[in-house]
């Protein structure tokens, strides 16, 4: 599937400037790339979160496509209803059939945690939509609290680093694999800095004969404690260290994408962010080594899975 950059840049913008997202925020970049990559007009189900509260402040909106605001947890159910209503209206002759792509944008809190059962139900019912998780590893718009996507050892406001604990004490859950276990046609992990990989995966997700899911690594400079201009570099370091591998699952077959190589220690990725500052001390050297060992182990397991295809 070939993407021509010049042709993409000539497409009209569907998310306007002037929204309230933080300087350096990766979410608007992801949204623009997703909507730009789609072959069909989009109808968006938008979960409550940073993106929603910053782009739809009454009476204004930054969106140039139809958007339905959902609660934190039920964006997948909203998309299911939109898709079902469209098919019913076409079937009854009340609407002409035309190519549309139903898209969900939701954060990791709305995906990994409070919306997981809603997402699971929609996938099981095989509603056709593209679900995009904007994964910034925390509940950022409510105060930088930990989520099920937050890496072990991370400082957040609910997992502070100090004498009692060195940040979050639990490992993050692998929601991409959980979604893949539903047997849907297309599942992928992508990252904001790798535009071609992300946009190619969006095209594949849109063309899938059923629900699709893309988990997009989306750094939050405010919550991760790095400079706004370092967002893309932090994303790149996550991929190069193996902390966020790029892969896809097509009809149950697993494939690595991008270079498929891990070239850095995880400390290089963590050193670029203030939320891991405490892990760079001698007192927490053991925890850093544990995190590195876990990432190495998961990388080997993923490589084997992709080599076998299942």
For residue range 154-202, list pLDDT tens digits in order: 999 999 999 999 999 999 999 999 999 999 999 999 999 999 999 999 9
Q: How large is the angle between the packed helices 75-91 and 116-124, nearest 10 degrees?
A: 30
| Cβ 214 vs Cβ 202: under 8 Å | yes
Confidence tier at 3 by pLDDT (50, 70, 90): confident
pLDDT value, residue 309: 75
Mean pLDDT of 96-117: 97
Residue of 96 and 10 predicted with greater confidence: 96
> What's the whole-number mean pLDDT along residues 19-29?
96
Quote the longest CA-to-CA distance of the chain.
Answer: 69
Of the candidates 246, 228, 218, 254, the residue with the CA atom closest to the CA atom of residue 105 = 218
pLDDT at 1: 56
Mean pLDDT on 270-286:
97
In this structure, is the dihedral angle defined by the CA atoms of residues 243, 173, 163 and 234, taken in order, positive or negative?
positive
Average pLDDT, the chain: 95
pLDDT at 261: 85
Residue 47 has pLDDT above 80, yes or no: yes
Which of 125, 133, 121 has the alpha carbon at shortest distance from 188? 133
Q: Do 214 and 188 meet the contact criterion of CB atoms below 8 Å apart?
A: yes
Structural domains present in the chain:
5-308 (3.40.50.970)
74/45 Cα distance (integer angstroms): 9
Stretch 243-260: mean pLDDT: 94
Split at pLDDT 50, 70, 90, the class of 11 is confident
How would residue 2 be classed by pLDDT, with cut points 50, 70 and 90?
low
- Mean per-residue pLDDT, 256-284: 94
Average pLDDT of the segment spanning 50-57? 95
Going by their DSSP bridges, the two strands 101-107 and 130-135 should be labelled as parallel
pTM: 0.96
Cα-Cα-Cα-Cα torsion 111, 207, 246, 48, nearest 10 degrees, comes to: -20
Cα distances (angstroms) measured from residue 308 to each of 248, 252, 270, 296, 303: 14, 11, 31, 19, 9
Q: Could you tell me how many residues make up the chain? A: 310
User: Looking at the predicted structure, is the pLDDT value of residue 4 above 80?
Assistant: no
Q: What's the pLDDT band for 12 if we cut at 50, 70, 90?
A: confident
Average pLDDT of 261-267?
A: 94
Tell me the pLDDT tens digit for each residue of 61-96. Answer: 999 999 999 999 999 999 999 999 999 999 999 999
Instruction: Evaluate whether 75 touches 105 at the Cβ level (below 8 Å).
Output: yes
Q: Kindly tell me if the per-residue pLDDT of 57 is higher than 80.
A: yes
- Share of residues in the chain with pLDDT > 90 (%): 91
Phi, psi of 59 (to 5 degrees): -100, 20
Question: What are 43's strand-pairing partners?
Answer: 102
Beta bridge partners of 186: 212, 250
Over residues 210-215, mean pLDDT: 98
Least confident of 136-145, 199-208, 255-264: 255-264
């Amino acid at each position: 599937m070939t993407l021509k950059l010049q042709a993409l840049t000539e497409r009209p913008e569907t998310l306007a400037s002037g929204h309230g997202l933080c300087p350096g925020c990766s979410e608007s970049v992801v949204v623009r790339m997703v909507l730009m990559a789609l072959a069909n007009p989009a109808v968006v189900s938008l979960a409550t979160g940073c993106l929603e509260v910053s782009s739809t402040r009454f009476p204004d909106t930054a969106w140039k496509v139809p958007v339905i605001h959902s609660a934190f947890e039920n964006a997948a159910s909203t998309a299911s209803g939109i898709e079902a209503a469209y098919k019913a209206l076409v079937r009854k002759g009340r609407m002409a059939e035309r190519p549309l792509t139903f898209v969900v944008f939701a954060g990791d809190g709305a995906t990994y945690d409070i919306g997981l059962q809603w997402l699971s139900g929609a996938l099981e019912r095989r509603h056709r939509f593209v679900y995009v998780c904007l994964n910034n590893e925390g509940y950022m718009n409510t105060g930088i609290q930990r989520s099920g996507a937050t890496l072990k050892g991370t400082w957040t406001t609910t997992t502070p680093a100090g004498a009692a604990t060195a940040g979050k004490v639990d490992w993050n859950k692998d929601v991409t694999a959980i979604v893949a276990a539903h047997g849907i046609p297309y599942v992928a992990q992508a990252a904001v800095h790798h535009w071609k990989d992300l946009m190619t995966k969006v095209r594949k997700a849109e063309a899938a004969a059923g629900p699709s899911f893309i988990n997009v690594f989306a750094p939050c400079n405010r919550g991760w404690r790095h400079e706004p201009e370092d967002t893309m570099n932090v994303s790149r370091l996550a991929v190069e260290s193996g902390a966020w591998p790029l892969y896809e699952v097509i009809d149950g077959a697993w494939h690595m994408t991008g270079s498929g190589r891990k070239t850095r220690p995880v400390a290089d990725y963590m050193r670029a962010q203030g939320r891991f500052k405490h892990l760079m001390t001698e007192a927490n050297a053991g925890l850093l080594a544990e995190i590195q060992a876990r990432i190495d182990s998961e990388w080997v397991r993923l490589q084997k899975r992709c080599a076998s295809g299942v």
